[in-house]
């Protein structure tokens, strides 16, 4: 039997993804002794199997569209082929560079990185099975940051031609006619990249009434129109019943009897909290359907000294949310008084083509809070924006404000509009009035001007827009 060694720290962190490593780096910066436990790779799902690799592939897809775009500008460009293994190699190089950089940061901050499977075995104790034996790490505080996993549906087995997003990122070929189960962020991003890289047809099956159903309805409808133009088809409002693998592909049947056939099925129905068999419930941590319940103001669980961050906490499952939560908890533990994180103030970005960006309340949510007559909105069409016309994109910026009050929501759709989310989140989180934003100078010609023009219009003085 391997020897057990015990070590003591100010903070023991279970999970090395965005939330965990952010807490480790910030805590060490503030003088806390930190142990960071991870059974896989530092950086977690986002770096290795999620955000970063999908965006790398979306960039390849963007370049693949250059010949068609260039033809309209007088450029004779040709895309001869797509080398799928080379695309994977590019993606992996991006991941590798970021991974090495992150490892260097953790080492430089003198964070004790413990590689192995960790479980919560006491109020202040995490037991880790490492290659060298069992280690017991005792912390004055413990942060649970164990992340999430790709969900599937009852009766739907992954394997073969039925993929989750992680398997899809390793696929050594570009699917010819894939079916995607789920029209949320993951589903529409993969639909976008596969279509850009040469898939003959892409079909999305979504049981809800819209693609990207959590967004403002105006964004969802704009995305659907854009996908139709791109030749991406979708079935909305009818739920999945079953999937059958054949020798050459997959047959998907919906509850109304509709059948779709394709060469692969991507299951993109969301992510679940990775908390099973980690000892949380045994130590008295309050849970709900696998999620860890943490106080919204402090992110502390019902057990004093145990905190939770990231995808295991109910709410938006976004890497940058977990990252900020990790910083927040580290600062609290170090005796600082950081401002609580407001969930509605977290920017939400979907990196398909066209891109979706939003922060704050949708029009529907604002009307539920302030009443229909208590809300004003304005949509500024990118047709009036010079840089958007150069880029050849359609779309709009939509502002939602409390009547005679601040802007409470910003929603946008269009090529590269994710780059405008920095100012958008400042507008909402600093409770800016349209008049405040209208008085700022936005560089010309940039897509950033679209935010300024929308604010001008909502302030009652539209310029490059019809009143």
User: In degrees rounded to 5, what are phi and psi of residue 33?
Assistant: -85, 130
Q: Do 123 and 140 contact (CB within 8 A), yes or no?
A: no
Q: Do 7 and 314 contact (CB within 8 A), yes or no?
A: no
Region of residue 131 (left: phi > 0; alpha: psi -120 to 50; beta: else)? alpha
* Residue whose tokens read 């970005």: 349
Q: Do 366 and 382 contact (CB within 8 A), yes or no?
A: no
Structure tokens at 159: 């394997």
| DSSP bridge pairs for 115 | 38
Rounded Cα–Cα distance for residues 59 and 361 (Å): 29
Burial class, 265, CB count within 10 angstroms (exposed 0-12 / middle 13-18 / buried 19+): buried
Give strand ranges (E) for 257-395.
Answer: 259-262, 265-267, 271-273, 287-288, 291-292, 306-308, 348-350, 355-360, 375-381
Nearest alpha carbon to residue 424 among 366, 365, 357, 364: 357
Q: Which long-range contacts (CB under 8 A, 24 or more apart) does 73-78 make?
A: none
Q: Do 210 and 224 contact (CB within 8 A), yes or no?
A: yes
Nearest alpha carbon to residue 376 among 354, 333, 411, 408: 408
Which residues are designated catalytic?
444
Q: Do 161 and 263 contact (CB within 8 A), yes or no?
A: yes
Q: Do 243 and 253 contact (CB within 8 A), yes or no?
A: yes
Per-position b or e across 396-417, b if 16+ CB within 10 A of its CB: bbbbbbbeeeebbbbbbbbbbb
């Amino acid at each position: 039997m391997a020897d057990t060694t015990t070590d003591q720290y100010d903070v023991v962190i279970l999970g090395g993804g965005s939330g965990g490593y952010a807490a480790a780096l910030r805590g060490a910066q503030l003088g806390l002794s930190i142990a960071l436990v991870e059974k896989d790779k530092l950086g977690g799902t986002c770096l290795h199997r999620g955000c970063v690799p999908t965006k790398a592939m979306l960039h390849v897809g963007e370049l693949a569209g250059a010949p068609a775009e260039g033809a309209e500008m007088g450029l004779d460009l040709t895309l001869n082929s797509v080398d799928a293994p080379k695309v994977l190699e590019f993606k992996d190089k991006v991941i590798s560079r970021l991974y090495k950089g992150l490892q260097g940061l953790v080492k430089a901050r003198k964070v004790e990185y413990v590689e192995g499977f960790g479980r919560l075995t006491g109020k202040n104790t995490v037991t880790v099975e490492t290659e060298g034996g069992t280690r017991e790490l005792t912390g004055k505080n413990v942060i649970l940051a164990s992340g999430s996993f790709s969900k599937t549906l009852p009766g739907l087995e992954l394997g073969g031609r039925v993929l989750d997003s992680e398997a899809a990122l390793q696929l050594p070929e570009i699917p010819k006619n894939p079916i995607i189960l789920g029209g949320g962020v993951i589903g529409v991003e993969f639909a976008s990249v596969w279509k850009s890289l040469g898939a003959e047809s892409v079909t999305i099956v979504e049981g809800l009434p819209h693609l990207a159903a959590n967004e403002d309805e105006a964004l969802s409808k704009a995305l659907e129109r854009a996908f139709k133009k791109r030749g991406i088809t979708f079935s909305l409002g009818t739920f999945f019943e079953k999937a059958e693998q054949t020798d050459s592909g997959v047959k998907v049947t919906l509850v109304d009897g509709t059948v779709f056939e394709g060469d692969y099925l991507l299951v993109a129905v969301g992510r679940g909290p990775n908390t099973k068999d980690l000892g949380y419930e045994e130590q008295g941590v309050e849970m709900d359907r696998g999620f860890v319940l943490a106080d919204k103001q402090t992110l502390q669980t019902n057990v004093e000294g145990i905190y939770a961050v990231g995808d295991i906490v109910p709410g938006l499952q976004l890497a940058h949310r977990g990252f900020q939560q990790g910083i927040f908890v580290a600062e609290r533990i170090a005796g600082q008084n950081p401002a609580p994180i407001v969930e509605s103030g977290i920017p939400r970005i979907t990196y398909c083509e066209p891109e979706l960006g939003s922060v704050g309340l949708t029009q529907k949510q604002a009307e539920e809070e302030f009443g229909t007559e208590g809300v004003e909105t304005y949509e500024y069409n990118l047709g009036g924006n010079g840089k958007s016309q150069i880029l050849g994109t359609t779309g709009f910026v939509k502002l939602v404000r409390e009547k005679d009050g601040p802007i409470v929501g910003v929603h946008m759709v269009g090529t590269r509009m994710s780059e405008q989310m920095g100012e958008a989140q400042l507008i909402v989180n600093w409770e800016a009035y349209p008049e405040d934003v209208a008085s700022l100078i936005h560089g010309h010609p940039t897509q950033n001007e679209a935010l300024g023009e929308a604010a001008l219009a909502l302030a009652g003085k539209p310029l490059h827009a019809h009143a």
